[in-house]
Copies of this chain bind each other. A is one copy, B any other.
Amino acid sequence: MKLKIKLLDWSAGVPVVMLNPKTAEKLGIHVKDRITLSVGAKKLSSIVDTIKKIVKPNEIAVSSEAKEIMNLKNRQKIKIELTPPPRTLVYIKKKLNGERLTKKEIRLIIQDIVTNSLSEPEIALFISAMYEKGMEFNEIIYLIESILETGNKLKLKNKLIVDKHSIGGVAGRVSPLVISICSSTGLTMPKTSSRAITSPAGTADAMECLAKVDFSIEEIKKIISKTNACIVWGGGLGMVPADSKIIKIEKLLKIDPKSQLLASIMSKKLAVGSNHIIIHIPYGKSAKVNKTKALELEKDFKKIAKHFNIKLVCVLTKNNGPLGNGIGPFLEMIDVLKVLKREDSCHNLEKIAIEISGVILELTKKAKKGKGEELALEILNSGKAFEKFKAIIEAQQGKIVDLKPAKFLKTIYSSKNCKIKEIDNKKINFLARITGCPNEKSSGLYLHSHEGDNLKNKQKIITIYSRSKTRLRHAVEYYKKEKPIIFG
């Protein structure tokens, strides 16, 4: 059946269409069923709503998400048909029951995710199955290959391509510092970063405070040819569309299975053609992983790198609370600028950035063995890193501006002499998310004090910022109840 597109300036977060109830009845389609929209070979499955009057029997309204994916125009005719039941739900259940999936089964699941044939609760089940039952080495390789197959690639001509990634879990923007320091030596660093999964800000969220991060592959090639580096959002490039969808649900569920974490990071790195990769793994009591799991992850990453014939080094750092003082896109970017301008070391943010940069400079032979950190600090002190960062921001159509945190705020003070015994990363991240991060860029937290600090009575501990009064109230309630900062 063919219907005429009616655009309504309607946004639903996911591909949804509206049919007139008569059309639905005629097709034997019910509300919440799924139909497939086809334009040529391009197909997209969408959820069905029904609406009287606004959509006539020969029309179909599409949400802006469906419109963008399929590039639809008002009054365009489009073919629709009932989406067959997802053939891959049985494979998801196979994994849920602890069985190993074949290459073909994983490929079909990933294809169904890309065409939107699997619904959100079904993808949630897949994530839960991976979380519960894990995946073997071969399954992870198939997952990476399938994610790559269903996406675009950045094909640079440069031979040596360097990349840095953090597994996340700890607030603080190390990447902009590392990219600025290392790429100022001439290294090619096409950094594609993600938006936050379970944290209050991803590198892309923070970069977006100063510059555009959403480019086409062709535009990125131009940026690289100008500055030999970039720090962009990977999700909009269509490089790993399956991964982007999975991450969206992971965000909601706040879980992040190991197999998907490995596949997510490695597929992104491979899609840009990286052959020298540094993975930062913060570990510790309230980081994403403990030391044992960090060492396991290092082994997994190295094994995958070997399979794909690329050089990979993991940098494990013991974590003592967030890196830097700020948490949230604006507040983290403010820290990055302070370090680049040599105004402040922002607790241990500078230290970790120097450590990782040192490893990269040695791995790429820009520095002699044991001399990497020294060179990194020299570059930072010379102002070359800040110059490089400005060049990247400009190439990405932005400029360095003053960033102001959100207007609603509440500062919490100590009520006696005390010592900060621990800052719980998970709770502090959750607190920052309650303020509105990462969607509200200027919301977030500022830590006046850090782990191990001795506080006097009435000293500032933390300031909570939010764009919404309600969210600020929820955040202060959470802070009081859950105590993310523990005193000794």
A27-49 interface bits toward B, Cβ cutoff 8 Å, 1 = contact, 0 = none: 11011100000000000000101
Contact between B131 and A253, CB atoms less than 8 A apart: no
Determine the chain B residues whose CB is within 8 A of the CB of A10 once the complex forms: 18, 49-52, 54
A47-91 interface bits toward B, Cβ cutoff 8 Å, 1 = contact, 0 = none: 101111110000000010000000000000000011011000100
Q: Of A14, A21, A31, A128, which is in contact with the most chain B CB atoms at under 10 Å from its CB?
A: A128
- Interface residues of A, CB < 8 Å — how many? 58
The B-contacting residues of A in range 8-28, CB under 8 angstroms, are 8-14, 16, 18, 21, 27-28
Give complex CA distance A430, B47 in Å.
21
Take A124-B125, A125-B253 as given contacts and tell me if A12 and B49 are in contact as well, using a CB distance cutoff of 8 Å: yes
- Nearest Cβ on chain B to A153's Cβ, whole angstroms: 30
Flag whether A471 is at the interface (Cβ < 8 A). Answer: yes
Take A28-B471, A96-B128, A96-B131 as given contacts and tell me if A85 and B119 are in contact as well, using a CB distance cutoff of 8 Å: no
- Contact among B84, B129, B436 for A128, CB-based, below 8 A: B129
Flag whether A433 is at the interface (Cβ < 8 A). Answer: yes
Binding site secondary structure of chain A? mixed
Give complex CA distance A82, B469 in Å.
10
Give complex CA distance A436, B190 in Å.
49
Determine the chain B residues whose CB is within 8 A of the CB of A351 once the complex forms: none
Take A13-B32, A28-B436, A32-B13 as given contacts and tell me if A125 and B122 are in contact as well, using a CB distance cutoff of 8 Å: no
Take A253-B89, A439-B30 as given contacts and tell me if A82 and B121 are in contact as well, using a CB distance cutoff of 8 Å: no
Determine the chain B residues whose CB is within 8 A of the CB of A252 once the complex forms: 119, 121-122
- Nearest Cβ on chain B to A439's Cβ, whole angstroms: 5
Contact between A82 and B11, CB atoms less than 8 A apart: no
- Contact among B11, B53, B54, B121 for A50, CB-based, below 8 A: B11
Determine the chain B residues whose CB is within 8 A of the CB of A96 once the complex forms: 128, 131-132, 255
A223-258 interface bits toward B, Cβ cutoff 8 Å, 1 = contact, 0 = none: 000000000000000000000000001001111000
